């Protein structure tokens, strides 16, 4: 057995929040190792890096998710006891419900709803001196997501709901006011969405039978029991919130476009091939998920190291997206790297790795890619705009992060 390098610390939780995205990556470099130990939230944690590590991490005979996600993250970002915390048959059954909403027809339906919202906002924008893209795109996504899901949304509610979905995401790496804003946003959202689930169950609201609202509201667990109202609420929010979160990636896409105007013409091409490469590079280059956690289910040995039952293990997502062994010159934004990219499910993991149906890989990855391509299409083919001087810097010591100005665009014209 080799000795796993160990950070000498009583607890690094505060340092993790202070250092943000590079926390794991930095220590891997200091130890010159793809594995090290530290202490977080009062317990010893093993951090691992690399495609082989990802493959082990997604092996469900070795790892489980039960007990892996800290309560503060469940009380803000994810909701309590949802799909992310489940294992085995119960997880696969719940995941199948999510994946049933990811068909081509369902994604096209979402894109049609987002298209309507984009067009309405463009009509508004051409009469405005400037727009904070990150904020308006949250609203566009919220409108698109609710219309897709069959969730009624009054025009007067859009801003508040979009802000609440975003506040839940914004809270995941915070222990201060941001955390409390996230909790408040979640409780407001759960009471709103819970009321809608109840209306469906009491037959006061009649969503389409194929709609996410109907499917989640009438989902039965493996024991044949209807999900509790609270559980259905958490899972419906697990569909709406991350669609609104795509606004982070749209803001980063606009930033990338501003920094790399040389790609504009290729992005305008109707076949959309280059847009897909660009979107993939945005998901690689710009930070979102820092790492993922799971607990050792049964003890095992890997790479000369022993993993004890119950040990918490973190997989270094951010570090893997910036590792020169996986990406040539990772510090450069180069969509071309995806032209002939032949990856495995374990080396490009901005939204998790492994299999969709059997593991915890993000259920909404296809949606994310398509919605980002559509957003880019609007930015390059539907409007022209200027980017006035502003603070476009994004902090790596803040999780999640986004360009500080929110990407202000001005002098917006239809093309």
Known binding-site residue numbers: 362
Minimum CB separation from ligand HEM for residue 82, in Å?
Answer: 8
- Residues contributing to the annotated binding site for heme: 362
Decide if residue 193 touches ligand HEM (CB under 6 A): no
Which of 125, 249, 291, 348 forms a contact with ligand HEM (CB under 6 A)?
249
Contact indicator for 83, 93 with CB cutoff of 8 Å: no
First to last CA, the chain: 64
Decide if residue 95 touches ligand HEM (CB under 6 A): yes
Which of 144, 287, 352, 403 forms a contact with ligand HEM (CB under 6 A)?
352
Q: In the window 58-87, what residues touch ligand HEM (CB under 6 A)?
A: 83-84
User: 358: helix, coil or strand?
Assistant: coil
Minimum CB separation from ligand HEM for residue 104, in Å?
Answer: 15
Decide if residue 351 touches ligand HEM (CB under 6 A): yes
Which of 50, 79, 144, 242 forms a contact with ligand HEM (CB under 6 A)?
242
Nearest to 371 by CA among 77, 68, 111, 12: 111
Residue 133 to residue 140: CA distance in whole angstroms:
10
Minimum CB separation from ligand HEM for residue 363, in Å?
Answer: 4
Which of 288, 291, 333, 394 forms a contact with ligand HEM (CB under 6 A)?
288
Nearest to 279 by CA among 328, 230, 333, 234: 333
Contact indicator for 309, 297 with CB cutoff of 8 Å: yes
Which of 20, 287, 319, 364 forms a contact with ligand HEM (CB under 6 A)?
364
User: 380: helix, coil or strand?
Assistant: helix
Applying CB under 6 A, the span of 113-121, 181-189, 236-244, 386-394 interacting with ligand HEM comes to: 236-244
Residue 300 to residue 119: CA distance in whole angstroms:
54
Give 384's strand partners. 413
Minimum CB separation from ligand HEM for residue 110, in Å?
Answer: 8
**For ligand HEM, which residue has the nearest CB?**
364
Decide if residue 238 touches ligand HEM (CB under 6 A): yes
Residue 29 to residue 26: CA distance in whole angstroms:
5
- How far CA 161 is from CA of 139, 168, 205, 346, in Å, comes to 8, 11, 20, 35
Residue 125 to residue 143: CA distance in whole angstroms:
16
Q: Which residues bind ligand HEM (CB under 6 A)?
A: 83-84, 95, 98, 238-239, 242-243, 245-246, 248-249, 288-289, 292, 350-352, 360-364, 367-368
């Amino acid at each position: 057995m080799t000795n796993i390098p160990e950070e000498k610390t009583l607890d690094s939780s505060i340092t993790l929040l202070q250092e943000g995205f590079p926390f794991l990556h930095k220590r891997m470099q200091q130890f010159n190792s793809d594995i090290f130990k530290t202490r977080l939230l009062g317990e010893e944690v093993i951090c691992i890096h690399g495609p082989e590590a990802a493959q082990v991490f997604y092996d469900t005979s070795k790892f489980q998710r039960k007990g892996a996600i800290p309560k503060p993250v469940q009380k803000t970002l994810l909701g309590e006891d949802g799909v992310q915390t489940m294992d085995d048959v119960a997880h696969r059954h719940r995941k199948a419900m999510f994946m049933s909403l990811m068909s081509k027809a369902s994604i096209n339906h979402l894109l049609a709803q987002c298209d309507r919202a984009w067009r309405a906002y463009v009509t508004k924008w051409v009469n405005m001196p400037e727009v904070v893209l990150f904020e308006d795109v949250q609203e566009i996504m919220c409108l698109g997501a609710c219309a897709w899901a069959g969730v009624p949304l009054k025009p007067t509610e859009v801003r508040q709901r979009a802000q609440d979905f975003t506040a839940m995401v914004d809270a995941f790496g915070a222990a201060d006011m941001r955390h409390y804003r996230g909790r408040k946003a979640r409780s407001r959202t759960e009471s709103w969405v819970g009321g809608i689930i109840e209306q469906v169950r009491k037959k006061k609201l009649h969503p389409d039978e194929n709609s996410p609202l109907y499917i989640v509201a009438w989902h039965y667990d493996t024991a044949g029991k209807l999900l509790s109202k609270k559980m259905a609420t958490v899972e419906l929010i697990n569909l709406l919130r991350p669609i609104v979160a795509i606004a982070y990636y749209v803001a980063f896409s606009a930033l990338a476009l501003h920094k790399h105007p040389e790609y504009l013409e290729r992005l305008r091409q109707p076949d959309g091939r280059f847009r897909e490469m660009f979107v993939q590079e945005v998901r690689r280059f710009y930070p979102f998920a820092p790492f993922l956690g799971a607990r050792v289910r049964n003890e095992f040995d890997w790479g000369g190291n022993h993993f004890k039952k119950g040990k918490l293990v973190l997989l270094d997502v951010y570090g893997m997206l910036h590792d020169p062994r996986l990406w040539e010159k990772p510090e450069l934004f180069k969509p071309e790297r995806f032209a002939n990219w032949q990856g495995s499910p374990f080396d490009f993991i901005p939204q998790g790795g492994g299999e969709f149906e059997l593991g915890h890989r993000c259920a909404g990855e296809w949606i994310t890619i398509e919605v980002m391509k559509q957003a880019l299409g609007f930015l390059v083919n539907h409007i022209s705009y200027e980017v006035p001087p502003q603070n476009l810097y994004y902090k790596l010591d803040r999780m999640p992060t986004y360009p500080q100005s929110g990407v202000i665009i001005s002098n917006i014209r239809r093309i």
